Structure 1
C-alpha cells in the first residue's frame, strides 16, 4: 500500500498534548486527519531508524509504508497509552514490534509454514551496523529532533508571513538556525532599515518565539507539561549525537 506523506514541515500539527493521540484513535474525519498528521511528523524518523539498521533507501521506504499502512488502518494507534507518556517512545517501540513480526513471518516461510517457501537470499538482510556510527535508536531520535525544529521553524515563518514580515523573517532566519553566526549584522540591519541594536532585539524575540514553538511541538504528544523540558533535553542530546 503506497502512502503519500505530507511534508514534515507542515505547521498544522499544533494542539493540546496527548489529546492529539486520543483524537487519532477516533473513527472520524477529524481522527483520520490527526492520525495522518502524527504519521507525517514521524515518517522521517522511522526511515532514519530503518536506514541505520543497514537497509537500502528503497527497502527502508517500503517497510515504512507497510508500517504506516497498519498505523493508518487503526490497528496500532489504539495501543498508545497515555500512561506511557511519550508518543515518540511508543512509535519507536511499535516499529521494532512491526519488524519483529516481519522477521517471524519470513522465518515461517523459510521453514515451509507458508504456501510459497522462499530462499534466505530472497529477503534483504540488514548489514551489520558500523560501531563508529550512531545506533538506529539514536538515528530515530536525531531525525525526530530535526523534524521538530523544521516544523517549529515553519510555524514561525507562517506567523511572520501573516503579520506581513515574511521578507524580513527570511533574511533573519539564518541567525535563528545558527547558519549566520558570524555574518554582517550591520549590513543586514541597514538593509532592513534598522540599527544593529534593534536587529539584535528582533532576533532575540524570534529566537524566544521559536523556542516556544519547539516546546509546543513537543508537547503535542506528551501527557503533561512536566515532561516537556525532559524531552527538550532529549532533543538537544539527539542533535549532538555524532
Structure 2
C-alpha cells in the first residue's frame, strides 16, 4: 500500500497526513516522526468520544481514564489497526467505535490498571472537564454508541470552527471572526445585525451579506472536516444530517 501523503499545516510548522483516515493509516505504517505527530493529532481529536463511551459502560472516572489510555496505547502499538486496508473501510466514526467495543471485550482492564502512574502517558486526557457533561449526556443519550456519535459530532463542529478561525487568522482578520462567531455558536446567543453594523461602521444590509458568507464558509469547513472521516465516494451531507439529528428533541 502506498505511504500516506502529507501536507504542511502551518500550525507549528509540522507535517500531518492530509485526511483523518490517512492519519490512522500513518499510525500503523510509518516509522518516522510523522507517525508520532499523526498519533498525537488522532488522540487530540478523538479521546473525548472514547472517554464518554467507556464511562457510559459503568466505569468509574479512574477506570475510564485507564481504559482510554489503554485503548490509545493499543492503537499506538498498532495491533488494533492490523486489519485496516484503507479508507474503503467506511466511516472512521463507525470503525473506531467497533474497534473500541472489541477492545473493551478483551481483558485489558486489569493489566492496564497495573500500569497506572508507572507507564508512558500517550494521551492528554482531561477527565474532569468531561465529567461535568456525564449526567447531561446520561439524561439525553442513554445509549453509549449514540453518546459516542454525539460527542463525535460536537468535536467535528468545534474542528470546523477552529479551521474557520485559522482562515481568518491567516488573513489577519481574527477580530472579524470574533464579531461573527455568534452566528455559528448558538451558546453565544443570537447575533444582532443592527448592533454589529454599528460596531463595524457598515450598513445592516452589508452585515447580513457578510454573516451569510461567514456561515457558508463555516459549512464548507464542516463538510471538509466530515469528508476527512469518510471513505471515498461517501456523501458528507448524509453524514452531517445524521450527526445533526443526534441533537433533535423529537
* TM-score (norm. length: structure 2): 0.74
Q: What are structure 1's unaligned runs of at least 5 residues? A: 1-9, 107-129
Tell me if the contact between 1:17 and 1:223 (Cα under 8 Å) persists in the aligned partners: no
**Is contact 1:85-1:223 (8 Å) kept?**
yes
Residue deviations 1:45-83, cap 9 Å, x none?
001111222223232122101111110122212323433
Q: How many residues align?
A: 211
Task: Tell me whether 1:44 sits opposite 2:52 in the alignment.
Answer: no
Partner of residue 19, structure 1: 22
Question: Does 2:65 correspond to 1:61?
Answer: yes
Output the CA distance in 2 between the equivalents of 1:233 and 1:138: 14
Residues 158-193 of structure 1, C-alpha deviations (whole Å, 9 max, x = no match): 111121211121121011123456443211211012
Question: Judging changes above 3 Å, is the alpha-carbon distance between structure 1 residues 17 and 50 closer, same or farther for their aligned structure 2 residues?
Answer: closer
Q: CA RMSD in A?
A: 2.8
Aligned match of 1:84 in 80, 89, 92?
Answer: 89
Partner of 2:77: 73
For residue 215 of structure 1, report the CA deviation from its aligned partner. 1.2
| Alpha carbons of structure 1 residues 58 and 194: separation in structure 2 relative to 1, 3 Å | farther
CA distance in 2, matches of 1:132, 1:180: 21
Does residue 96 (structure 1) correspond to residue 101 (structure 2)? The answer is yes
Give the drift of 1:197.
1.2
Which fold has the larger relative contact order, with Cα–Cα distance below 8 Å and residues 6 or more apart in sequence?
1
Q: Which moved more, 1:18-27 or 1:208-217?
A: 18-27
Distance in structure 2 (CA, Å) of the matches to 1:158 and 1:133: 32
**Structure-2 change in CA distance of 1:215 and 1:89 (3 Å):** same
Q: Does the aligned pair in 2 maintain the 1:13–1:217 contact within 8 Å? A: no
5+ unaligned residues in a row in structure 2: which ranges?
Answer: 1-10, 112-137
Larger-gyration structure (1/2) = 1
Report the equivalent of 1:206.
214
Deviations 1:12-33 (A, max 9, x none): 8772463333333222221332
Structure 2 distance, partners of 1:150, 1:85, is 23
Tell me which residue corresponds to 2:37: 33
Instruction: Tell me the distance in 2 between the aligned counterparts of 1:35 and 1:188.
Output: 41
If the length of structure 1 is used for normalisation, what is the TM-score?
A: 0.76
